[in-house]
Amino acid sequence: MIETDPSRPLYHAMLRADPTLSRYDPLPRIITHDRFASGHCGWSQLVGNYEDDLDTMLPGYAQHGSAMLSTLPHWDAGSHGGMDSSYALKIATKPRAGARNVAIKRHTFRKRGPIRLEAYLCFKPEANELKLSETDVRSVGFLFDLQGGDSDGDVMRVMPHLRFLNALDGVHEQKWQFKRQTGALQRIGTQDKILSHDHLNPNDWQDLPGAAQKLCYNEIPTKVNWTYIRFDFDLETMQATGFQCNDRVFDVAGFDSISIPAMKNLWCMLNICFFAETDTDKRAFLYLDSLCLSGDF
């Protein structure tokens, strides 16, 4: 019988014996452990809702492209690669100030309980100038898109968002922000089946308490360093319970999520998104080396 109680030594010994898992602190049940050395692992482009015609898609989504596997190629030193393999997942924006791109992985859950998202990531602008360019990436971040089951009462669609605002209009901000409001819900098509809303529009971001943090951003535009993040959330209460980035643990008591009425075909939804935005007419890159989603159920 496999030991699953994290308070017991055998559980910890099993985690520590696997180098790809020992970098994480998962809850007892690992839902997904994505190592992009083995492929896309189910991550795809966030396509906006449409009906009959692609032009019914909201403009914010029309700019999105597919995530890709990348060796982190650099003109000056060849390929950087991931933390312990040749590949990472690359989310790249278009070269237009304010442009964004989003990758998504879609799950459902089987019980409402605590979940934990952990990942190693880094960000850089496209290295097409011989200077540091540390303010060219506007932001990188992640979100959950969640909805309870059809047997739950009082169900809402809940979307916790967190982003690292690196720069805005050329000013170095370096702080964590969350969002509790979305764009207006809009009907798509004529059959009254589909709604859409641009929840990643640039409005309504708020600073997380103690938001400021300086991340490692190396001395030339082609050097990267991997950053650890951990986000804890309770599917039962639909509340955030913790957030950590590298050595900093943040207070989430004031954190809140976007909350909108449940949608009729999204029961037990457990989706994860990562996104990047550029602050200049230069592509911004968010790289994911690997991630682990775990739960206590």
> With pLDDT > 90 as the criterion, what percentage of the chain qualifies?
73
pLDDT for 206 = 97
Mean pLDDT score, 56-73? 87
Domain 24-295 has CATH 2.170.130.10: no
Give the residue extent of every domain in the chain: 24-295
pLDDT tens per residue across span 215-248: 999 988 899 999 999 999 999 999 999 999 999 9
Top-confidence residue, 190 or 157: 157
By three-state DSSP, how is residue 119 classified?
Answer: strand
pLDDT for 59 = 78
Burial of 94 (0-12, 13-18, 19+ CB in 10 A): middle
Q: What is the pTM of this model?
A: 0.91
The distance of Cα 155 from the centroid of its chain, to the nearest Å, equals 24
pLDDT for 10 = 76
Residue of 216, 255, 211 lying closest to 234 (CA atoms): 255
The token pair at 154 is 């009082």
CA count, 13 A, side-chain hemisphere, 222: 15
pLDDT for 2 = 43
Angle at 251 between CA 246 and CA 255, to 5 degrees: 110
Mean pLDDT score, 159-163? 98
Residue of 250, 243, 217 lying closest to 229 (CA atoms): 243
* Confidence class for position 1, pLDDT limits 50, 70, 90: very low
pLDDT for 61 = 81
pLDDT tens per residue across span 85-96: 999 999 999 999
pLDDT for 4 = 52
By three-state DSSP, how is residue 11 classified?
Answer: helix
Mean pLDDT score, 189-205? 80
Mean pLDDT score, 194-220? 91
H-run or E-run covering 60: helix 59-62
- Whole-number Cα distances in Å, 257 to 60, 200, 209: 20, 13, 15
Is the C-alpha dihedral spanning 29, 141, 164, 58 positive or negative? Answer: negative
